[in-house]
Structure 1
Amino acid sequence: MTSAWVGERVRLRATEPEDWEAFYAFEEDSDAVRSGWRLHPPTSAARAKKWAAEHAEKDPDLDEFRLVIATKDDNAPVGSINTHQVDRDAGTFAYGIAVGTPHHRKGYAGDAIVILLRYMFFERRFQKAEAWVYSSNDASLTLHRRLGFVEEGRRRRSHYANGRYEDEVLFGMTIEEYTERYA
């Protein structure tokens, strides 16, 4: 028996209450947090525990959801991936991904993205995935190009972090492009 949520290196799974500690620790690397979205004021351990408990109890949605990226071998959390901006009429969705700094460059992000796209394309009938990447995030730009995403556009000076404005680069992949490469 094989799970659709398991790849070569990772498994995607729901949040468990005990995951709070890993995600709390990931927030300590401000540069990594900025490259994924935005830096927030520090949170307490109690708030991190509450967040994890609330997510663990949340009823899943078929199209808009957040999953933990966990190592395949020991199920330890290394990051998260989520879907958003779901447009059922157009058949498009966007996703965001974050991997904790100690787990960078181990193939976890790429594996998680391929699993997510397979589900959204072949189980939920979407036809296109989109991802916005900040122009200073060289690792993510390289990853999306390597995975076969096409650079579709650029929003100039649309993100502000660490005292400077930067561009957002839009990447897209259609189901046909995914199928040609991964199916």
Structure 2
Amino acid sequence: MTSAWVGERVRLRATEPEDWEAFQAFEENSDAVRNGWRLHPPTSAAHAKKRAAEVAEEALDLDTFRLVIATKDDNAPVGSLNTHSVDRDHGVFGYGISIGTPHHRKGYAGDAIVILLRYMFFERRFQKAEAWVYSSNEPSLALHRRLGFVEEGRRRRSRYANGRYDDEFLFGMMIEEFTERYA
């Protein structure tokens, strides 16, 4: 039997309380954190443990959720993935992805995104996925283009980080585009 949550390199799984240490370590690379959203002040180990335990106990919604991206072989956390901006009326959802710096350029993000899209398109009946990427995050821009996402728009100077303004690119992929490429 095969799990729908396992790809070639990764498995998507729920957060476990012991994941706190890996995620706190990922926060140490300020440039990587800025690429995802915003830089936060450092948190204590006690806070990181508490937050991981709280997330581990949250009930998962079928459409809006956060999952750990773990290596297929040893189940070690390498990043996280979440869905947001879910619009059931129109069948559109957004997602965010973050891979810890030591795990960049290993194919984990692309594998995780394909697993997520397969679930959202073929199990939850969505028809379009959207991703917003900052102009300073060149690896993510390249990843989304390589995966077959279409650049649909650009919000100029929509975010300030690290002393500069970034544009924000909107990428979209429809179920037909996904099916043509990945089914």
* TM-score band w.r.t. shorter chain: over 0.9
Displacement of 1:160 in angstroms is 0.6
Query: Displaced runs of 4+ in structure 1, greater than 6 A?
Result: none
Q: Within the alignment, does 1:59 sit opposite 2:49 as a pair?
A: no
Q: Give distance in 2, aligned partners of 1:179 and 1:79.
A: 26
Deviations 1:67-112 (A, max 9, x none): 0000000000000000000000010000000000000000000000
Displacement of 1:9 in angstroms is 0.1
Q: Give distance in 1, aligned partners of 2:68 and 2:50.
A: 16
Q: Give distance in 2, aligned partners of 1:154 and 1:38.
A: 19
Displacement of 1:14 in angstroms is 0.0
Superposed CA RMSD: 0.3
Deviations 1:141-173 (A, max 9, x none): 000000000000000000110011110000000
Q: Give distance in 1, aligned partners of 2:40 and 2:81.
A: 18
| Amino acid paired to 1:3 | S
SS in 1 for 2:110: helix
Q: Give distance in 2, aligned partners of 1:154 and 1:144.
A: 14
Q: Within the alignment, does 1:79 sit opposite 2:79 as a pair?
A: yes
| Partner residue in 2 for 1:49 | 49
| Partner residue in 2 for 1:128 | 128
Q: Within the alignment, does 1:90 sit opposite 2:90 as a pair?
A: yes
| Amino acid paired to 2:56 | A
Matches within 5 A, 1:17-36: 17-36=17-36
Unaligned runs of 5+ in 1: none
| Partner residue in 1 for 2:12 | 12
Matches within 5 A, 1:100-179: 100-179=100-179
Q: Give distance in 1, aligned partners of 2:123 and 2:51.
A: 28
If the length of structure 1 is used for normalisation, what is the TM-score?
1.00
Deviations 1:91-141 (A, max 9, x none): 000000000000000000000000000000000000000000000111000
Displacement of 1:50 in angstroms is 0.4
SS in 1 for 2:11: strand
Q: Give distance in 2, aligned partners of 1:2 and 1:159.
A: 41
SS in 2 for 1:75: coil
SS in 2 for 1:61: coil
